[in-house]
Amino acid sequence: MALEANINHDEIMRRVATISPALAARARASDEARRLDPASMRTMADAGMFKIPVPARVGGYELTLRTLASAVTRISEACPSSGWVLMVMGAHHWCMGTFPEAAQDEVFARGGGYVAGTLSWQGTAADAPGGYRINGRWQFGSGIDRADWVMLGCGDEATHRPKVHVVVPRVEIEVDDTWRVLGLRGTGSKDLLAHDVFVPAHRAIDTRMMFAGASPHAANHRTNLYRLSPEAMLSMSVATAVLGSAKYALQRFIERTRERTVIISGARKAEHGPTQVRLAEAAAEIQSAELLQYDVFDLYDQFMAAGTPMSPNDRTRVKWQAAYSAELCRRAAARLYSASGAHSVYETSAIQAAFRNISVGAQHASIDFDTSAELFGQMKLDVTK
């Protein structure tokens, strides 16, 4: 698929609609392989999906997070693993806009530069002449089998407090295949290990600076896209993928219920009052989840237009709305699964697959329900610990 120089939201969504059937057809193959099918990766790459949040200065589209979210949600409806890998790599590609320009140039120099990894500071970084030496194990490296680069959060070697985020070539990282899980099996989110890997200073950025949306490199772009808070962006990114799986579950439930009958009586399940009520509740929860996300993207647009940083209260609000959005999707999926009858116990059941995928996606640390709710409550009550 040819890529035009000027791409907008509508064009991206047209491409998403075009590639979704092919991604859906390979969704099970990804799950069975426990890694994203290479053809699905090529399909998304050829359609320019991974360029959505890449800075224009290095050949990307530099489109809004609303566009990336819309693509992730729609693709997750077709293939949850494809949507999740796009979400994760998209978040990392966006984060690259806050790194030094030399790192951006190096990663995206040849037009590829697919970045997997994990942003939590599970490993450590020690100062070294000209850069850092990193060590440790990081969990949940989604898409690592299809990556060229790896982005990793690193804590201080002595205190383990946040220190730097780095980007390193994929070949310098060891992969431990630990990914035998309940759902999102096709994401290949394996453990990543670094053994005294040297990272030059130009491929690193101070974690606190980046997460506060205060990187000086974020100002060197044609838009204010990279001045947003990565902490807030990452939480909402995860929720958009969960939303796609929830929408898929709702549609499959409707289709299945229309044809179901009660074995004993032969009555149509679609005419059963409690089934109708469960459907109504689930649909309202999913719609509410989507509206919570839309509200955040409106907030993003305001900050992008103004070019001002997000306050701690803004970041707390976004994190809570992301967490609650995902929780609404999880509740809806659980309700639909429980109303799907005995056939949903088989692994071939589309409803069961969605239930498993949403259950795993909603476990992501960035949208931890209890922590996000507590922080939001403290903010509203002006209580600090």
Task: Choose which CATH entry (2.40.50.1070, 1.10.357.10, 1.20.1440.60, 1.20.140.10) describes domain 228-381.
Answer: 1.20.140.10
For the cut 60, the answer to whether the pLDDT of residue 4 exceeds it is no
pLDDT at 5: 60
Instruction: Parse the chain into domains and list their residue ranges.
Output: 9-107, 115-208, 228-381
CATH H-level, domain 9-107: superfamily: Acyl-CoA dehydrogenase/oxidase, N-terminal domain (1.10.540.10)
Neighbours of 16 (CB within 10 A): 23
User: Under a CB-based contact definition with an 8 Å cutoff, are residues 284 and 278 in contact?
Assistant: no
pLDDT at 342: 86
The CA distance from 286 to 288, in Å, is 5
For the cut 90, the answer to whether the pLDDT of residue 269 exceeds it is no
Both tokens of residue 64? 């809004």
**Dihedral angle, C-alpha 119, 142, 79, 18, nearest 10 °:** 70
User: Under a CB-based contact definition with an 8 Å cutoff, are residues 134 and 194 in contact?
Assistant: yes
- 286-315 pLDDT tens trace: 999 999 999 999 999 999 999 888 899 999
For the cut 70, the answer to whether the pLDDT of residue 356 exceeds it is yes
CATH 2.40.110.10 correct for 115-208: yes
Both tokens of residue 362? 């909603």
- 219-253 pLDDT tens trace: 999 999 999 988 889 999 999 999 999 999 999 99
pLDDT at 2: 40
Rounded average pLDDT over 104-117: 91
For the cut 80, the answer to whether the pLDDT of residue 1 exceeds it is no
Identify the CA nearest to 15 among candidates 57, 78, 108, 96. 78
User: Under a CB-based contact definition with an 8 Å cutoff, are residues 55 and 209 in contact?
Assistant: no
User: Under a CB-based contact definition with an 8 Å cutoff, are residues 14 and 7 in contact?
Assistant: no
Residue 117 sits at the vertex; the CA angle it makes with 36 and 366, to the nearest 5 degrees, is 100
Q: In a 3-state reduction of DSSP, which class is residue 82?
A: helix
- Does pTM top 0.75 for this prediction? yes
Q: Which residues are within 8 A (CB) of 155 and not within 5 positions of it... i.e. 6 or more apart?
A: 121, 122, 123, 124, 125, 161, 162, 163
Both tokens of residue 383? 């209580």
How many CA within 13 A on the CB side of residue 166? 30
Both tokens of residue 377? 């409550």
User: Under a CB-based contact definition with an 8 Å cutoff, are residues 186 and 30 in contact?
Assistant: yes
